Amino acid sequence: MINLLFNKLTFFIIRRSSKSYIDYLRSIGITIGHGVHFFGNVRLTGIDMTRPSLVKIGDNVKIVSPFTLLTHGFEWFVFRVKYNEVLGSAGRVVIGNNVYIGIDTCVLKGVTIGDNVIIGAKSLVNKDIPSDCVAAGIPAKKIMDLDEYFQKRKSEYLKE
């Protein structure tokens, strides 16, 4: 009972703010650059802590909650029941510098997101995303170059 209460209290404390969550993630070995911020309800942000050395988040990254980042798969559960074997899987996740990740996005194991990238809301990032682009969708894919999107957004901004 005391352990359960302690775990719930710890969960609340480390996720009461973006800064406290980032401080905690750094303390367990996740590499997180400067200027990183989680927006929204931080309690809905899940960074896989099973393999902290596999996660690297660059500088000036903004992520909107809910958000999920996984460095492992759980498909081994089906193998264990059917074949009585555990065949785990894991992969590094790297998020580059100057990246914005929209609300309700999931980033899966083995993915690298380049620098200067915008990931649209509700995306499933299961493959690498190159630098200097906008990507979105399920699965996420490059929609356009960042320069092209900047010009498009600039034109719309002037009309607004």
Beta strand 117-119 with 112-113 is unpaired
* Residue 57 vs residues 99, 137, 149: alpha-carbon distances, Å: 9, 21, 24
- Contact between 113 and 142 (Cβ < 8 Å): no
Specify the DSSP element, H or E, that contains 99.
strand 99-101
Beta strand 99-101 with 117-119 is parallel
What tokens appear for 136 in the block?
A: 């979105």
**Choice among 72, 92, 122, 142 that is catalytic:** 72
37 labelled catalytic: no
- Contact between 58 and 96 (Cβ < 8 Å): yes
Active site residues: 72
